[in-house]
Amino acid sequence: MSTHPSTLAEWQALAASLTFETRAYIDDAFVDAVSGETFTSVNPATGETLAEVASCDAADAERAVEHARAAFERGEWSRLAPVKRKAVLLKLADLMAAHKHELALLDTLDMGKPVNSSLGDLAGAIGCLRHQAESIDKLYGEVAPTGDDSLGLVLREPLGVVASIVPWNFPLMMTAWKIAPALAAGNSVILKPSEKSPLSALRLAQLAREAGLPRGVFQVLPGFGHTVGKALALSMDVDCLAFTGSTQVGKQLMQYAGQSNLKRVYLECGGKSPNLVFADCKHLDAVAKHAAAAIFHNQGEVCIAGSRLLVENSIREAFVDKVLAAAERMQPGDPLDPSSFMGAIVDETQHRRILDYIRQGVEEGAQLRSGGQALERPGYFITPTVFDGVTPAMTIGREEIFGPVLAVFGFDSEEQAIAMANDSDYGLAAGLWSQDIDRIMRVTRRLQSGQVFVNNWAGGDQTMPFGGVKQSGNGRDKSHHSLAEYSTLKSVWISLEG
């Protein structure tokens, strides 16, 4: 068996050798849920059971919060010198790098994404952890301008106990985006992974213990949102809730925060991102490939997926043909095959939901140009689907599908393109393809979106904040901005005797 697999057979051999940690991680120990309940983790590419995982609920949340608070008050982490926190987090990043194939494989088995995509996620997760670790001792407080009789200090302090609720589509990458800045700032963190992809989070807990994170500083509670997730959100002793997921659940979490202790709530929610292609853009073949990848990467299960393609009508017919050709080369395959561009849909429920949207698109009069079928094989696979002639009134043009379904719109003017792009409840991401720098600056400023990609899709690195506006949420992941969100400001005014 290769420890650095590169072929389908080698990945299959590594998968066959894996053992899974399935218990919750609470106060430096792996334990069963208090209730003894479990849930089934299923491989969506085969339909086969991977493991029975501890299903935590309110009792487990209460225990974890108690230990997280105790750890915070002890100060082993919260009051540790920043340079020493940095060393521990860098060690964790190194351990993740040493086990990257295993961690990537866990995400692939658990939620169906192609293994090469999972490896890319791991690189992003490791990079995030290293970036936030290196930022710890570079985020300064302030000295206020005062007269000689006073000294004004603005101090940054950790919040306390942070509950991070992460989604299933990018399990470890989203986990890193949440926990890295929260831990770097000195908080105790309780992670609730999605019940659809818990296995890599539990392996991460083993590595965190090996890296030297103190007891109670990092804990993992697998389980469901309506049980353990709700309990964390309602806890009077959780100081901050960080969430990535649907807008509907994000709204519920804000209500729970209001019903409890007014904890901070940072949300990265849904998206229906527009991707605008103007007739003056060059290299249409390459742009079409990017437009296809923007929706079909990760099976379309991406919060910033470019699911609305807005094309200037003078090039629309030719451009859509190029997108269709690109989509043909992005068909789903075995997630363990490094040559597969798409893998399996995460589970039967999501699979059925996507197919229902496709049927609705046809019924509402959109033109199905390609795809739209479930593969006749074990597991949950759907071919890349392209609808043309979509209007803003159609369901597939407004609602987040979270699957490989592209809705193509036409426009005749810049004003019309901007209006169509902004005609959405969401504002997570937007794309713009043009060679006209004046147009780029005009349109970029008017797009109602937390991030705009110009002549690329999903560009950026750890120096750039990630988040949305409108019903796409309010917080920011990545960059120094996220590190600042997990700390609070304390003003200290000192009177000096003359």
pLDDT in tens, 77-123: 999 999 999 999 999 999 999 999 999 999 999 999 999 999 999 99
Q: How far apart are the C-alpha atoms of 161 and 180, rounded to whole Å?
A: 14
Is the distance from CB of 340 to CB of 352 less than 8 angstroms? no
Q: Which of left, alpha, beta for 262 (phi over 0: left; psi -120 to 50: alpha)?
A: left
Q: How far apart are the C-alpha atoms of 182 and 477, rounded to whole Å?
A: 11
Please state the φ and ψ torsions of residue 368, each to the nearest 5 degrees.
-80, 110
Is the distance from CB of 162 to CB of 186 less than 8 angstroms? no
pLDDT in tens, 52-72: 999 999 999 999 999 999 999
Categorize the per-residue pLDDT at 497 as very low, low, confident or very high, splitting at 50, 70 and 90: confident
Looking at residue 147, its pLDDT comes to 93
- What average pLDDT score do residues 336-341 get? 98
Categorize the per-residue pLDDT at 1 as very low, low, confident or very high, splitting at 50, 70 and 90: low
Could you give the count of Cα atoms lying within 13 Å of 444 in the half-sphere of its Cβ?
14
Distances (CA, A) of 100 to 95, 259, 279: 8, 40, 42
pLDDT above 90: residue 367: yes
Secondary structure (3-state) at 473: strand
Q: How many CB atoms lie within 10 A of CB 126?
A: 22
pLDDT above 90: residue 315: yes
pLDDT above 70: residue 498: no
Candidate list 303, 312, 400, 485, residue with the active-site label? 303
Radius of gyration (Cα) for the chain, nearest Å?
23
Instruction: For residue 56, indicate whether it is catalytic.
Output: no
Looking at residue 456, its pLDDT comes to 98
For the entire predicted model, the pTM comes to 0.97
Is the distance from CB of 267 to CB of 475 less than 8 angstroms? yes
Nearest in space to 242 (alpha carbons), one of 269, 221, 219: 269
Q: How far apart are the C-alpha atoms of 495 and 148, rounded to whole Å?
A: 9
pLDDT in tens, 273-287: 999 999 999 999 999
Instruction: Indicate the average pLDDT of the chain.
Output: 97
Token reading at 268: 């990265």
pLDDT above 90: residue 4: no
Q: What percent of the chain has pLDDT over 90?
A: 98
Candidate list 21, 195, 268, 485, residue with the active-site label? 268
Instruction: For residue 268, indicate whether it is catalytic.
Output: yes
Looking at residue 3, its pLDDT comes to 74
